[in-house]
Structure 1
Amino acid sequence: MDSDWQKVLAQLWRRLAGVREFSFTASNGPGSATDWRGHARGSVELEAGERRLLFRERAAFTSSGGHKVEMQNLYRWTLLPESLRLEHLRRGEPVLLFELQPVTEHGFRSVQPHLCGEDVYSAELLVGKSQLELIWQIHGPRKNERLHYHYW
């Protein structure tokens, strides 16, 4: 990876280290058998290391039917020489979700899909002036879902 892409990664890393809030919208498309639709807004408690960031996300999720659920997630971001790794820490065990590589100065894409049973996850991350957008796509026999995160 040339030094220009490493600069792009370094800039994204600095932006991630400044994140304190997030929101997301969950939606599903044709063929989905889930009811994973709604939105959330919450806070990110950040724990920073040299090449690792822990995001403790807490929010109230409101389903499309108006039902509210408290939610929390623990994500670990790791800065690698040519990419950025995102893992979900479940019960203390890391589950690799994505390695994101730069494809443009302001855009990153998952290197390969994450497989969870028969479901396939992919992602892209967009760097905007005031926020970061992480967009997940989940496809499987019962799923056609999109999670659209905004971090600032």
Structure 2
Amino acid sequence: MTAIIRFKPLLTTIHRVDFSSRPGTASRSGWSGHGHGSVQVESRGDTVRFFERGHFLPTGQSREVPFTNVYRWEFSTDRLRLFHERRGADHAVWLFDLGMDDASGDLLSLDAHLCGADRYQARLTPLADGFDLQWRITGPRKEETLRYRYRRA
């Protein structure tokens, strides 16, 4: 069994998501805040889908904003591909492919996802109770760090 395939049992146990967004000094978006929610997992063959639902509280605001996401994880022997199904399953947006980092045991984005002039990169760190997924977005108007904490309970 390849190292990538070993991540599948971990992903299928996830039930909770918490995340934070922090802009850097070069960010013009200023997108900042914390979110939390539930994850319903669907696993079929080499595909795992996360149906996320929860609330996001922008920094400095008193009212939470509801959110929903559908992320699709596709497993192959040498990579784990992540898609966002914001336009539906048939028009999913590819985000990045993650490959094994032999030194740390983490999965790292193999290439940056380009969205216009913005570059999206990520690191997935497996943990005993789930995993962390850190995104880094850089570009002419963006410098954002997103930290997702996916947990079993």
TM-score interval, normalised by the smaller of the two chains = over 0.9
Q: In angstroms, what is the RMSD of aligned CA positions?
A: 1.2
Query: Any unmatched runs of 5+ in structure 1?
Result: none
2:22 paired residue number: 27
Whichever structure has more helix as a proportion of its residues is 1
Q: 1:37·1:64 contact (CA, 8 Å) conserved in 2?
A: yes
Structure 2 residue ranges without an equivalent (≥5): none
Q: Do 1:56 and 1:72's aligned partners in 2 also have CA atoms closer than 8 Å?
A: yes
1:48 and 2:43 correspond: yes
Q: Distance in 2 between matches of 1:54 and 1:110?
A: 19
Letter in 2 for 1:143: K
Report what 1:72 is aligned to. Answer: 68
Contact kept, 8 Å, 2:26 with 2:143, in 1: the verdict is yes
**1:11: Cα distance to partner?**
2.2
Measure how far apart 1:131 and its partner are.
2.2
Q: How does the TM-score come out when normalised to structure 1?
A: 0.92
Q: 1:87 aligns with which of 72, 83, 90?
A: 83
**Structure 2 residue matching 1:10: 3-state secondary structure:** coil
Seq. identity, %: 35
Dislocated runs of 4+, deviation >4 Å: none
- Normalised by the length of structure 2, the TM-score is 0.92
Number of matched pairs:
147
Q: Identify the residue that residue 129 of structure 1 maps to in structure 2.
A: 128
Mapped contact 2:42–2:50 kept (Cα < 8 A): yes
Q: Letter of the aligned partner of 1:21 in structure 2?
A: R
Per-residue deviation, residues 68-94 of structure 1 (Å, max 9, x unmatched)? 110111110000111100000122111
Distance in 2 (alpha carbons) for counterparts of 1:100 and 1:137? 14
Residue in structure 2 matched with residue 113 of structure 1 by the alignment: 112
Q: In 1, distance between residues paired with 2:119 and 2:132?
A: 20
- In 2, are the aligned partners of 1:42 and 1:58 still within 8 Å (CA)? yes
